């Protein structure tokens, strides 16, 4: 109110000296390791079990998962390449490029996730054979029983129902992405590596997960202090 009573120049000068309101940082919601294990155990027999596990272990976005193709997967080398995403357009669902250039990335897979994807592929090939000419093969890793893309909104709704059935108190589909990042960071994975896996700018990841860093900072302090302690040389065997 005081600024309104000042002249134009004095008001601008006073405004320049004032502290701007702080921009709140995002504190991402994630599942605990125990909750994630409970969820994955609950959905082990779900038709999309491989999708839920892939989301939780890689942090891929919903559209990236829905747009993933088998030709972009290399199960022998345990890697996948994010090359497109499923997006909603005025005409319905369609495929487009990843969210940004950073989102075009290669992501490593753990052995259990690879095996889950292999089992998923076997079931998918059986569905294709049973559907016969009605199956529209688009090479999608995750699709419906006739090969059509999965509506991202329905994936969100399905996750919500499965989460509730698993008695996980809260979380959305995007929580799986946050969980993947949180577990990696709290396990000591460097921030730039986590950002690369997520396809995000390291600064964005830092802003989102800054609340995880104090623990890492303490670990760094202890590691540096330990390196400064003189240790007797061990005699060669």
Residue 88 lies in a domain: yes
Residue 223 lies in a domain: no
Residue 131 lies in a domain: yes
Residue 216 lies in a domain: no
pLDDT value, residue 6: 35
By the 10 Å C-beta count (0-12 exposed, 13-18 middle, 19+ buried), 129 is classed as exposed
What domain range is 124 assigned to?
28-185+195-200
Residue 215 lies in a domain: no
Residue 168 lies in a domain: yes
Short-list 157, 147, 223, 158, CA closest to 188: 223
As for how many domains the chain has, the answer is: 1
Residues of the chain predicted below pLDDT 70: 1-28, 213-216, 230-237
CATH assignment of the domain containing 177: 1.10.443.10
Residue 56 lies in a domain: yes
pLDDT value, residue 106: 97
Residue 17 lies in a domain: no
Query: In the beta sheet, which residues pair with residue 107?
Result: 80
pLDDT value, residue 167: 96
Instruction: Decide: 104 and 93 in contact? Cβ < 8 Å.
Output: no
């Amino acid at each position: 109110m005081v600024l309104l009573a000042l002249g134009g120049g004095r008001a601008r000068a006073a405004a320049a000296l004032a502290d701007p309101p702080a921009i709140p940082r995002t504190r991402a919601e994630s599942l605990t390791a125990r909750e994630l294990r409970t969820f994955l155990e609950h959905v082990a027999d779900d038709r999309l079990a491989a999708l839920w596990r892939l989301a939780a272990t890689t942090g891929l976005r919903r559209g990236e998962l829905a747009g993933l193709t088998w030709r972009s997967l290399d199960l022998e080398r345990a890697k996948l390449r994010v090359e497109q995403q499923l997006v909603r357009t005025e005409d319905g669902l369609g495929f487009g490029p990843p969210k940004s250039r950073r989102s075009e990335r290669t992501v490593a897979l753990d052995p259990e996730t690879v095996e889950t994807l292999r089992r998923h592929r076997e079931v998918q090939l059986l569905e294709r054979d049973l559907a016969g000419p009605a199956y529209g093969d688009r090479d999608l890793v995750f699709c419906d029983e006739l090969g059509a893309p999965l509506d991202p909104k329905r994936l969100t709704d399905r996750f919500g129902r499965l989460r509730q059935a698993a008695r996980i108190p809260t979380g959305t589909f995007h929580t799986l992405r946050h969980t993947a990042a949180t577990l990696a960071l709290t396990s000591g994975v460097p921030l730039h590596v986590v950002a690369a896996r997520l396809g995000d700018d390291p600064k964005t990841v830092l802003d989102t997960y800054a609340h995880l860093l104090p623990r890492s900072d303490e670990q760094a302090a202890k590691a540096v202090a330990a390196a400064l302690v003189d240790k007797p040389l061990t005699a060669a065997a």
